[in-house]
Each structure stands twice: as C-alpha cells, then as structure tokens.
Amino acid sequence: MISVVPADVGKPTVKSDKAAVRDGSCFWENPVYETVKFNRDTKSGKIHERIYYFVVGTGSSKVGVIGEASIDFSNYAEATKVSLVSLPLKNSRTEAVLHVSIQRMQESVDHRDVEENETPKSNYKEHSLMSHLSNGDIDGTIKDNSEDVPFNKIVPHVTEFNGNRRASNGSDITMSSSESSSGVESVQREPAGLVSSLRPQGPNSDAQTAVYEEHQRSHWGWLGNPALEASTDDSSSTPRETFLQQHLEEASDIVIEKLKSEVAALSRQAEISELELQTLRKQIVKESKRGQDLYRELICLKEERDALKGECERLKAARRRMDEAKTRTNSQFEGGDSRVIVEELRQELNHAKELNANLQVQLQKTQESNSELILAVQDLDEMLEQKNREILSLSSGASVKAIDEKTREAGSTDQRDEDNDDEEQKALEELVKEHVNAKESYLLEQQIMDLRSEIEIYKRDKDELEMQMEQLALDYEIMKQENHEMAYKLEQSQLQEQLKMQYECSASFATAHELEAQIENLENELKKQKKESSDALVKVNEVEAQIENLENELKKRTRESADALATINELEAQIENLENELKKRTKESADALATINELEAHVKSLEEELENQSQGFEADLEALMCSKVEQEQRAIRAEEALRKTRWQNANTAERLQEEFRKLSVQMASTFEANEKLATKAVAEANELRLQKSHLEEMIQKASEEHQSVKEDYESRLHQLANQVVVMTNQIERMQSEIEDRVLQLEHQKQHAEETERLLRRNFKAQE
C-alpha cells in the first residue's frame, strides 16, 4: 500500500489499494489521483517547488513501513508526455526501487465561468499523477487529476476524488473513460469512480490551446490533450469508495479530537468562571461588610456630632450664665452683696467640674472602644489560630488519607491484578480528592487574606479613634486654658471691685463716677472679648464638626487666641495706666484725708470681711486647682495608657504579621512536604509493587522448580525402588542359582568320588 503525503501538510491525502507481492514485485492496477496546486513567481516566471512523499508500507502500523521516496512535481509541471521515474526507497532495509509514471490529465474549462473570475496574483495548476510502481519487488501506477482554481477562492473539492469535480468558481471538469468519447468538454454529473483509462482526443487539442491563449490572464493551466496510457480496468470504483470511507473516518476522528479539545477548553473556562464567580461573591461580601462598617461609622459620627452640639449648647448656656452672673455681680457690688457673688462663683466652679466630668466620660468611652478593639483583635487572632489548625489538620489528614489509600491499594494489588479499570477509577477519584483538597486550601488561603484585610480595617478604625482621642485631648487642653482665663478674669474683676470700694471710700463722688464709667468701659471691652471668645468657641465647634478642615480651622483658632492674648495684653496695659491715674488721683485726694480717717474704721471692717471672703474664695480656688491638677494627672495617665495601648497594638500587629508570614511559610513548607511525601509514597508503592511482582515471579519459579525437582526426585525414588526390587529378585535368583550350583557341585563331587571309587575298584579288580 502507498500513501501520498504532501510535504507542507505532513499527513497522507491519498492512499492506494493493497496489492499482493508476486515473484518479488508488486503492481498496482488502479491509479491514484491527486490535485496539485502550483504557484508561479510573477517576476522570474518560475514555479515554486511542490514536494510529495510516497510512503510504501504494509498498512498495518508504523512498524510496517518499508520505505519512502520524494518527488518534486514542479519539475514535471510543463511536461506533455508520460514521465517515468525510478526512485530508490529511503529508510528501507532492502534495496527496493519505486517506478512511478507521472502523467498530466486533461481538463475542461467553462469559458463563461473563467471570464467571471478575478485575475489572481498567482495561478494554480492541478495535475493528475499516474505512477507506475515497480522494482525487483514493486510495480504500480499513480495518477493525479488536476484542475485550475483562482488564488482568492477556496477549493471545496480537494478532498473529493470522483469523476464529478466542481471548483469554487462553478466550472465542471469531466474525465471520461470511454474510448469513443468525442471530447473532454462533455459534463458528467453522476458520481463516477476513479478513471481507469484515458484515450487521446486529437481534435480538441487545438481548440484547447486557443482557450489557453485567450484565458491566460485568469487561468494558468494545461489545455493540451496528451496521450495517456493506463490500465483499462473498469473496477476502479470500489477503491475510491474505500478511500472515501477511510478519509471520512479520518475526518471524523479529527473532528472528534477537536470536539474533545473544545470540551476540555470549555470545562477549563467553566472552572475559571466558577473561580471568578467565587471571587466576585467574596468581593460582594467584602463590599457589603465595608458598607456596614461605613454605616456604623456614620452612625458613630452622627452621635459624636450630636454630643458636640450638646456640648456647644452647654458651653453657650454656661457663657450666658457667666454673663448674667457678671451683670449680677456688678449690680450686687454696687449694692454690696458679696455672699451672692461667692455662691455664683461656686456655681460656675461646679459647672466647670461638670464639664471636666463630661470630658472624663468621653475619655472613658474612648478607652472602652479601644478595649473593644483590642478584644476584637484578640478574637481575630483566635479565629486565625483555629483556622490555621484546621488547615494543618486538613493537610495532614489529606496526606495521611492519601498514604493510607496508597498503602491499601499496594496491599490489594495481589487480589486485584485483573481489575485495571477499577484501579484507574480509583486513581481518578484520588485526583478529584486532591483537586478538592487544593480547592479547600485555596479557599482557606482566601479566608486568611480576608481576615488580614479585616485586621487592616480594624487598624484603620483604631488609628481614627486615636486621632479622635488626640482631638479630645486638644479640646481638653483648650477647655483648661479657657478655665484658666475665666479664673484670671474673675480675679481681675475682684481686684476691680476692691478698687471700686477703695475709690468709693477714698475719692469723691465725681471721681468715683468717672472711675465707674471707666470700669464700665473696661467691662464692655471684656464683654466684647467674651463675645469674641464665644465666637471662637463656635468656630472651634464648627471645626470639630468639619473633620476634613481641621488643620486650617486650628490655625485660625490659634490666630484668634493670639489676637485674644494681644487684646489681654492691651487690657493689662490699660489697667496699668488706670492704676497710674489712680495713684495720681490719690495724690490729688490727699486733701481729703480727714474724711478718709473717718471712714478708716468702716474700711477696716470691710477689709476684714473681704479678707474672710478672699480666704474662702482662695480655699475654693485651691480646691479647684487641686481638682484641675487631679484631672490633668488623669489626662496624663490616660495619654500614657493610650500610648501604651498604641505600642501594644503596634506590637500585636507586628506579631500578627510575623505569625502570618510564619504561617504562610509553614503552609508552603507543609504543602511541599506533603507533595514530596505523596510522591515518595507513590514511588515507594510502585517500587514495592515491582518488588512484589518480582518476588511473586521468583516464588512461582521456585515453586515450579521445587515441584519439578520433587517430581524428578519422586520418579527417581520410584525408579530406584523398582531397581531395588529388581536387584533383590536378581539376588534371590542368584542365591538360588548358587545354591543349585553348590548342590550340583556336591552331586558332581559325589559322582566323581563314586567314579573314582569305581575306577579304583576296577583297577584293583584288573590287577
């Protein structure tokens, strides 16, 4: 059997019939037709090479290949006669020669169809080969049918090998096997077999050459009608049908393989899509969690906003109370009620204490939130440890299960040597289990990554809470400064009131009225400053509400505080000027010493009362200062606790990161170790199986040898026993014979003695 293989395809396109070898040679009666396409270079006019391989074999398998030979059909493209070629077979053990006869077949072209086609850049030629194969052991005939098609069209009939061949341009090419056919242009639409013989048609040659000259632009083909010599056997239809069946089977196999590859690709795409769906679901869950966290943060921010608004309202109310108290103090100083002033001061101090208590409550809340965060981090650590333990247990369990299953399979191979299909199914199940374990490990790794992201989110929340704590600390310091300013202002007001009392006692009414006017101006300025400070507090509250513009508003607040300090310094300078003016006026009021001496007693009594009041006020101030010191100490402690918690949280985060790294390294090492153990176990199991099979073979051989030796020994024993019996019988016979001979000898002796006696008697008697 011969297979025609194009060099550019690498697969057989045509196969000949099988032929028997007779007298060292093989002859193929039916020719082989192959369509060959040539490309001509437009510049040089040369035809590109078209190499075909002829593979000669028995048709059984690759082992049955006898040899192969190659032909370049471009060398025979312009041949008009039959070309005989002898090709020595390569890669063959024998010196076989393949004789091939190559002949160009006649074609029929419809001129109308040719004119409708576009002019191609490079033209194709299709040949028919009639190869005659022979040698000391090979003869045959191969024919190749040819037809011209445009370069920009696809030839649908390349795989069709029957009499009715239709190109993509619609032209029909007919090959007739009858000797009496009038021309090549007769069209046969019935599917025929391979052409067995073609006779020359002389009248058509000139017309076809004319057609060639007319249509050289669109087609480049052979329109001559050469003499063809071939076998005239009409039974060439059956090999074509067999060839078509074989080709269809090969095409179906190729299609099946393509479908299998497509199914595998689709399965992979399905797995990839499943993984993508899982990742998308996880992302959706993460986004939902983030949305919930953001919603919670919004709720917390709203609560903080409400709390800050409440504090602002309280501060405003406190300022109003302070203003009212100051107005009352002014009116009461005019009337001389000092006890009411002390009570109001105590109320203000209590209000300041309440504010400090609220700040302490807020600090406690922040500490509680920090403790809750620490507990959440600890819970996450515990969850991570549990999941790592589960991962380790799963990996160890999977490895132990794999080893147990492999050992069980190694132990059960003695009884299941014939059930190969079951073993393959088990191997597939093991692969599926390993794939499932890999998926579980991948899911666990993704869960670990999710937990890491949650830890990062908690860290961010913690940082935000720390920022809030810092803001609260700043607010606390601002409140302390405001309290100090309020105390300083109270002291100034008391000094002013004392000065008023002194001036009322010492100076005249005119000067007192002037001083009161100046004091009122100072009080108005102080009120303005209070209003400015209230505006500053409002701005500070707005800054607290607007967290994004903290830095700019803090700068503004510092500037306003600097302005307030400047105004305070200006007021102090004004007070010093007033004191100087008062000194001057005291000098001017030296004339009124008499009145002063009269009022000294009254002044002394008032001074004693004022001293008592000042002592009580100082005691209250000392208590306030002590409480402030305690609050400052508590704030310092809280700051230290916060720093410690930050440091601890940073250490815990570093530990967690190190533990995660260690766990990842351990996971990778455990997976690698499990894989190595699995491979080692498989290799050991295979080695044990081989050793076991070898030992079983040795045992079988030893048992067979033992049985053969035993049988030989038993046969030899039986033979020896028979020989012993025979020998014993022979010995007995010999003994009996010996005894008989002894008896005979005795009889002979007796007879001899008797004869001697008789002879002696006879001799004696004769004497």
Q: What are phi and psi of 5, to 5 degrees?
A: -120, 115
DSSP state of 40: B
pLDDT value for 77: 80
Same domain, 227 and 294: no
Same domain, 223 and 291: no
pLDDT value for 95: 78
* Tokens read off for 177: 């096997």
Same domain, 494 and 596: yes
DSSP state of 223: -
Query: In this structure, is residue 243 part of a structural domain?
Result: no
Backbone dihedral region for residue 65 (phi beyond 0: left; psi -120 to 50: alpha; all else: beta): beta
What is the C-alpha separation between 202 and 338, in angstroms, rounded? 150
**CA angle (580, 581, 586) in 5-degree steps:** 95
Query: In this structure, is residue 743 part of a structural domain?
Result: no
Query: In this structure, is residue 510 part of a structural domain?
Result: yes
What is the C-alpha separation between 30 and 507, in angstroms, rounded? 152
* Tokens read off for 255: 């299609």
Structural domain harbouring 160: 2-232
**CA angle (111, 112, 116) in 5-degree steps:** 115
Tell me the one-letter amino acid at 53. Y
pLDDT value for 549: 61
What is the C-alpha separation between 569 and 579, in angstroms, rounded? 15
Same domain, 207 and 301: no
Same domain, 336 and 225: no
Which of 658, 684, 710 is at the close of a domain?
684
* Tokens read off for 454: 């949650």
Query: In this structure, is residue 718 part of a structural domain?
Result: no
- Dihedral of CA 185/189/191/192: which sign? negative
What is the C-alpha separation between 580 and 573, in angstroms, rounded? 11
Instruction: For the chain, give the number of residues.
Output: 767
Query: In this structure, is residue 93 part of a structural domain?
Result: yes
**pLDDT lower than 50: segments of the chain:** 108-237, 333-336, 398-400, 403, 508, 512, 543
pLDDT in tens, 702-724: 888 888 888 888 888 888 888 88
Tell me if residue 52 falls in helix, strand or coil.
strand
Distances in Å between the alpha carbon of 705 and those of 700, 701, 711, 712?
Answer: 8, 6, 10, 10
Contact between residue 221 and residue 107 where contact means Cβ atoms under 8 Å apart = yes
Count of domains in the chain?
2
Tell me if residue 139 falls in helix, strand or coil.
strand
**Helices within 44-159 (DSSP H only):** 111-116
What is the C-alpha separation between 342 and 610, in angstroms, rounded? 11
Same domain, 289 and 202: no
Same domain, 314 and 202: no
Contact between residue 475 and residue 358 where contact means Cβ atoms under 8 Å apart = no
Distances in Å between the alpha carbon of 300 and those of 287, 295, 306, 464, 593?
Answer: 19, 9, 10, 12, 69
What is the C-alpha separation between 194 and 541, in angstroms, rounded? 103
Same domain, 80 and 157: yes
Same domain, 302 and 195: no
For the chain, what percentages of helix, strand and coil (3-state, to nearest 5) are there? 70, 5, 25
Taking residue 164's Cβ as centre, other Cβ atoms within 10 Å add up to: 16
Same domain, 199 and 302: no
Which of 210, 232, 254 is at the close of a domain?
232
Query: In this structure, is residue 661 part of a structural domain?
Result: yes
* Tokens read off for 381: 């650590």
R_g over Cα of the chain: 62
pLDDT in tens, 579-628: 777 677 667 666 666 666 676 677 677 777 777 776 777 777 788 778 77
Which of 684, 719, 746 is at the close of a domain?
684
DSSP secondary structure letters along 341-386: HHHHHHHHHHHHHHHHHHHHHHHHHHHHHHHHHHHHHHHHHHHHHH
Same domain, 321 and 402: yes
Bridge partners for 712 per DSSP: none
Query: In this structure, is residue 752 part of a structural domain?
Result: no
pLDDT value for 127: 36
Query: In this structure, is residue 268 part of a structural domain?
Result: no
Same domain, 312 and 214: no
